[in-house]
Structure 1
Amino acid sequence: MEGMTDAPESQKRALRAELRERRRIRTASEREREGTALTQHLIDLTSDLGARSIAAYLSLPEEPGTRDFVEWACENGIRVLIPVSRADGLLDWAPYDGSDEDEDLLGMPTPTSELLGPIAINSVDLIVVPAASVDRTGMRLGWGRGYFDKTLGSMENCPPVYAVIFDDELVDSVPSERHDQRVDGVVTPSGIVAF
């Protein structure tokens, strides 16, 4: 019985390691080209939804880039909330205006503005989340800490949730467990896919 419950977790670990390596070896020119396309698709999605308030994240160098999109949102009067990891596995949210950054307890970039509690995300029109991979049913494979699964799973009236991934990270299926949360779509360098 124990081996059965461990199967998805070990499959996830192996897949995450492979995806991390693929991201690591992307060239600077690939990243730049893909980043420009991603930014435009994220702007299109936000505009199409008429979102005036979003929850997003500040991408790390090897991740599909969200920073130009977040900057665009700030410049266009869209309220942006950025996650801040807590020791209890929940996410606080902080308003972001494109200025000062710090790091949270996991080393993720976060704003230095006032911390809002976990329920602050309930007021947004669109949630943009990181992912390692997403399958064609919308099942999201995160990076293994469960922060976004807990957040999305606890929301009563969840707005559209889109994961930002590279094209080759949209796959036929990903290993999943009961606590894993689906997303409504993905944004990739090639476009927007809604499930």
Structure 2
Amino acid sequence: MIADLGNEKRALRAELRQRRRTRTTTERDADSAALTATLQRFAEERQVTSLALYLSASDEPNVRPFLNWAFAHDIRVLLPVTREDGLLDWAVGDGERDRGDLRHARGRRRGPVPDRHQRRRRDPRPAAAVGHDGVRMGWGRGYYDKTLGSMAKRPPVYAVIFDAEYLDEVPREPHDEPVDGIITPSRIITFRS
């Protein structure tokens, strides 16, 4: 049964990867602008002063314009850094990025900083898809599931995904951690409060 779930996840991940690769520049640009607006609305409505987010790769939902907005509005942004034990640490960003690395322009190191070679080797990727029940499926490395599962008390967790990655259901294994909601280019959905 677990092997079947693993095969289901692999097949779904391959389909999602293919969809992401075939997106046109026009689609990417439109989703980037819409996602930035949705993330800004989310932050403003909830009066967010601190949040954790990822540095997006070219095939992922583009959060970089939102990160620039967050830094300009003095929102504290934490970015994920992988650890040897499979969990995540968080580095405080300040908006200065060079080739995807974190740099601290003020000259103060405020937490672990991902070196560009480490990030290329094991970059924690955001969600691949989320089901209507809040089950999050990642890309198979388990960083987020392990980290979220290890937290006794955690803040609300929203997965940032493309609209087409909000599915009726995704395969769920015992270690998969649900999320509290999703943010897509067109909407914000909260599963539990």
Question: What TM-score do you get using the length of structure 1 for normalisation?
Answer: 0.85
| Contact preservation (8 Å) 1:58, 1:110 | no
Q: Say yes or no: does 1:24 pair with 2:21.
A: yes
Counterpart Cα distance in 2 of 1:12 and 1:150: 17
Unaligned runs of 5+ residues in structure 2 are 113-124
Q: Say yes or no: does 1:111 pair with 2:106.
A: no
Partner of 1:89: 86
Counterpart of 2:144 in structure 1: which amino acid? Answer: F
TM-aligned CA deviation for residue 89 of structure 1? 0.8
Residue by residue, what CA displacement relative to the aligned partner does 1:26-64 show, whole Å, maximum 9, x if unpaired? 000100001111111111111122110111111101111
1:1-195 correspondence runs (5 A): 4-101=1-98, 109-113=100-104, 114=109, 116=111, 130-195=126-191
Residue by residue, what CA displacement relative to the aligned partner does 1:153-195 show, whole Å, maximum 9, x if unpaired? 1122211111111111100100011110111111111111111
Q: Percent identity?
A: 52
How many residues of Structure 1 are paired with residues of Structure 2 in the alignment? Answer: 175
Superposition CA RMSD, Å: 1.6
| Contact preservation (8 Å) 1:91, 1:147 | yes
The structure whose residues are more often strand, as a share, is 1
Counterpart of 2:28 in structure 1: which amino acid? Answer: R
TM-aligned CA deviation for residue 101 of structure 1? 4.0
Secondary structure (helix, strand or coil) at the match of 2:20 reads: helix
Counterpart Cα distance in 1 of 2:175 and 2:42: 27
| Contact preservation (8 Å) 1:51, 1:78 | yes
| Contact preservation (8 Å) 1:55, 1:82 | yes
Question: What TM-score do you get using the length of structure 2 for normalisation?
Answer: 0.85
| Contact preservation (8 Å) 1:138, 1:184 | yes
Counterpart Cα distance in 2 of 1:161 and 1:91: 15
| Contact preservation (8 Å) 1:133, 1:174 | yes
Partner of 1:122: none
Residue by residue, what CA displacement relative to the aligned partner does 1:115-137 show, whole Å, maximum 9, x if unpaired? 636xxxxxxxxxxx821100001
